[in-house]
Structure 1
């Protein structure tokens, strides 16, 4: 394990970047025979107002879902899975947000962060995007109904589409989905011998599956601002499709 030294970029050109680190322990360098180092480039941007609003909206929907849930075995399994079992007040949105933030930071191995503007520990834009997509995945996995379409809330649409495929949830409306094959059989593909790994798909409910057939793929994609996702081996295994 090495030693972490804070530094700053003082120059950049076509050949690379120049980094300054205030480190004067030359004996350490000699004793450890240090000749190489690793530079981590951190996002210097703070989360945007839009990202902050998405986080609060997602937490609000999660809070509404669990506070109104029937106290069944499935309900407690959901709380356990989301690590919210020991939250005292399930109607306290701020308490839920803090717990979810703690769970996320533990999962990612990072320090706790703030959503406040211009605070020393304010979350950066890249981490905020990952946090939002993590919350979106929680909503997909646990069937949490949200006030807005999750396709509008996600930061990484490919990640969102992949989660919808894995859970067989419509990426447009959140209802149970079939897997719509973006590249239809007949375009140089034989159904009996096809390998699905690498195939482009969209997870769509029956209504949206019919709609894409009626108006065409390009018009459908423009209408809903949606793209496609490629199946990997894990997704094929989940769907029980031939790899």
Structure 2
């Protein structure tokens, strides 16, 4: 909350708030106890209350924008984050996750650690070359299923499982062994669609057709 100082009388201060006070929210945040107020006077040497207010307002606008963008892209009905269903929340979370991947918006390490490592995340990590464990960009596409000494150009990669790992975790995987590595980090290697295999230059449509013709 922000406001303008109206007057001071002894140990009493009068402030005119910029916006109407929501008593319900105030009581809820204060756990229905006597609220404690922190008074910070703008001295011109650090961020001003007006600047802070504008920043918070813009962040709220950005939050609303991503929701409206979600409605437009998915046809979803409007919902509130306060009481929406778990299914709606999961779909919106997946949409935000995809938006961050597509626009190369980095994740903080703490945030990344809280994202469940499911099939969708594993595939997006492979598509955008981000480590499935730490989110490091420009990571390696690793064959969980060993290819061995076979010529990779002749292998049917549609039958194999993959994971995306940064150099550090790729090295650790080889040191620990595949089984111990996935048990440590609770990740699940995934198969890639034909379109993903082509876009990632792992296979060509020609090679797929050749393999299918040999069957």
- Tell me if TM exceeds 0.5: yes
Number of the residue aligned with 1:110 = 76
Structure 2: 5+ residue stretches without partners: 1-53, 209-215
Point out the structure with max Rg over C-alpha: 2
Higher relative contact order at CA 8 Å, sep ≥6: structure 1 or structure 2? 1
Structure 1: 5+ residue stretches without partners: 1-87, 117-121
Number of the residue aligned with 2:120 = 159
What is the TM-score when the length of structure 1 is the normalising length? Answer: 0.56
Structure-to-structure mapping, 1:72-221, within 5 angstroms: 92-116=58-82, 122-147=83-108, 148-150=110-112, 152-154=114-116, 157-175=118-136, 176-186=138-148, 191-221=152-182
Superimposed CA distance per residue, residues 124-162 of structure 1 (whole angstroms, 9 cap, x where no aligned partner): 1112111111111222222222222535324x7100111
Structure-to-structure mapping, 1:24-39, within 5 angstroms: none
What is the TM-score when the length of structure 2 is the normalising length? Answer: 0.62
C-alpha distance 149-214 of structure 1, shift in aligned 2 (>3 A)? farther
Number of the residue aligned with 1:16 = none
C-alpha distance 234-110 of structure 1, shift in aligned 2 (>3 A)? same
Give the CA RMSD over aligned residues: 2.3
C-alpha separation in 2, matches of 1:210 and 1:114: 44
Which is helix-richer, 1 or 2?
2
The answer to whether the 8 Å contact 2:107/2:135 transfers is no
C-alpha separation in 2, matches of 1:151 and 1:234: 29
Q: How many residue pairs were aligned? A: 149
